[in-house]
A and B are shown apart, each in its own frame.
Chain A
């Protein structure tokens, strides 16, 4: 009896979580005629890929995708390059300064993003970097940095200090010890942080909306929103098709790091 109820509840969750996704997929495969019909159909009667072709024809999806890719890759590389030494220091040398720094990383999450984007916008304007991908990359690095620091610090702390010190005692020297002992152990965490930074940048919308003004420089989330404009039924198919395509990279990367992201969150959260 209770078991049946549990299954019913679980089924309810599955339906709630899945139905918008299925509807998106179904809409992407429908003809405009079928969309306009009064009775909604889950499975398109005549599935078509025309919406995907229309999506590419209507908006510069390839260009926007490439620009998003450039920004996301640059954001991931720069963030991790800056955050890795920082995270190492924060994990290993626990002086007052380190404590304050990591405390700040947590506290900074409370501030709404307007308080970051307005000053950054003003600085970028002075540097003539508004409306450029470089400018957006700088903003994304700022945006991703705290969480990247937090994740990487967790991974560094998971590497036993003894290992490193044993290598150092063996006469390897601190840097050699780092390269030979710590780096391999840290590699999966670094990859996870890279992918996480990539996803954050790829998905990001508000900063892009503020920084990028011209269609020639806009990233994928901005281009997607363009489909909405004067929203005729005919445009819903291409909208759904483009949305699906834009989700693929995030979904794939997320699937790779999912487990690690979880353990990273936990590792960062455990008090030492």
Chain B
């Protein structure tokens, strides 16, 4: 496919240099670069620069460069560390549970089972729902008086306001919402595993477990690494869902880093400090992803 696309054609030059067409190429690249620069690079660079300033929300406040002062403050901020800890618990557990649940569902959907159609539709619905509605819906499920859970279990628990139950309760919702993308991607990956590989190990007399372990998992590996990385990034940056469910409560027990940053920026007006928090989370995400991808690459060899 690549060879075909790159074959020098008529008067167009081969490779990346397009000869006489390169002029129009640049003219065309301009509209490509402008949206990327204006709508993506620009705000992000501005945001990162703000992390090194004392920008406040007031209209006439002066902003000055403060170097690494915000970072020093962040490192000694107990509230930040608590939020960071909760964010990591949330990010890692939702990503792992999401992956395991989605892998199981994808494996089932890839087989010839009867309920498959229904499950397939249901597996995609949460993807299309507004996060606000997902949050409100689960508040109805968890509601202490009119909710489903207390009625079912005969319990009298205020799930989302209980200090030890709030985070697990929110994690369940995170898994529920995030399953569709992961399932769809894993299912596509499963369908791309060449059948001959299964036939080959079947001839060797391998059972379903060995087939899964020796064929499916290694074949899926790149897809798994890609989707779990993306899920982790999405989860650690989650805001709307948890904001609607608990607003970070009770007592900050579900205050994910983005809720913390939102409060700092738009409740207390510390723009610079909130940006610092954003940069810090970016660094953490990059380190975690870097370690993960590096380990996967090494094991893959």
Contact of B32 among A89, A108, A116 (CB under 8 A): A89
Chain A's nearest CB lies how many Å from the CB of B154? 9
Given the known inter-chain contacts A10-B113, A89-B29, please indicate yes or no for A115 contacting B48, CB distance below 8 A. Answer: yes
Q: Which segment, of B67-75, B138-146, B210-218, faces chain A? A: B138-146
Given the complex of chains A and B, what is the CA–CA distance between A227 and B148 in angstroms? 19
Q: Which residue of B lies closest to A148 (CB)?
A: B35
Given the complex of chains A and B, what is the CA–CA distance between A82 and B36 in angstroms? 10
Q: Which residue of A lies closest to B27 (CB)?
A: A89
Pairwise interchain contact B141-A86, C-beta atoms closer than 8 A: no
Scan residues 84-130 of chain A and give those whose CB is less than 8 A from a CB of chain B. 85-90, 92-98, 101, 104-105, 108-120, 122-123, 125
Chain B's nearest CB lies how many Å from the CB of A203? 4
Q: Which residue of A lies closest to B173 (CB)?
A: A20
Cβ of A66 within 8 Å of any chain B Cβ, yes or no, is: no
Pairwise interchain contact A243-B36, C-beta atoms closer than 8 A: no
Given the known inter-chain contacts A112-B261, A239-B140, please indicate yes or no for A206 contacting B148, CB distance below 8 A. Answer: no
Pairwise interchain contact A110-B50, C-beta atoms closer than 8 A: no
Cβ of A246 within 8 Å of any chain B Cβ, yes or no, is: yes
Pairwise interchain contact B130-A247, C-beta atoms closer than 8 A: yes
Contact of B237 among A7, A113, A265 (CB under 8 A): A113
Given the complex of chains A and B, what is the CA–CA distance between A250 and B138 in angstroms? 19
Specify which chain B residues have a CB less than 8 angstroms from the CB of A122 in the assembled complex: 46, 55, 271
Specify which chain B residues have a CB less than 8 angstroms from the CB of A254 in the assembled complex: 124, 127-128
Q: How many A-B residue pairs have CB under 8 A?
A: 275
Chain B's nearest CB lies how many Å from the CB of A109? 6
Interface on chain A toward B: helix, strand, loop, or mixed SS?
helix
Number of interface residues of A (CB under 8 A): 99
Cβ of B164 within 8 Å of any chain A Cβ, yes or no, is: no
Cβ of B197 within 8 Å of any chain A Cβ, yes or no, is: no
Scan residues 31-55 of chain A and give those whose CB is less than 8 A from a CB of chain B. 35-36, 38-40
19 other A-B residue contacts (CB within 8 Å) besides A13-B108, A98-B32: A7-B115, A9-B104, A10-B108, A19-B148, A20-B138, A20-B141, A23-B141, A85-B31, A98-B29, A112-B257, A112-B278, A115-B278, A118-B278, A145-B36, A203-B130, A203-B132, A243-B136, A251-B128, A265-B185
Residues of B within 8 A of A (CB): 1-2, 4-5, 9-10, 12, 16, 18, 24-25, 28-36, 39-44, 46-48, 50, 55, 59, 101, 104-105, 108, 111, 113-116, 118-119, 122-133, 136-141, 143, 145-148, 151-152, 176, 179, 184-185, 188, 208, 226, 230, 233, 236-237, 239-240, 243-244, 257-258, 261-262, 265-266, 271, 274-275, 277-279, 281-282, 285-286, 289
Residues of A within 8 A of B (CB): 2, 6-7, 9-11, 13-14, 16-21, 23-24, 27, 35-36, 38-40, 82-83, 85-90, 92-98, 101, 104-105, 108-120, 122-123, 125, 141-142, 145-146, 149, 160-162, 165, 169, 174, 199, 202-203, 205-206, 209-210, 220-221, 224-225, 227-228, 231, 233, 236, 239-240, 243, 246-247, 250-251, 253-255, 258, 262, 265-266, 269, 272
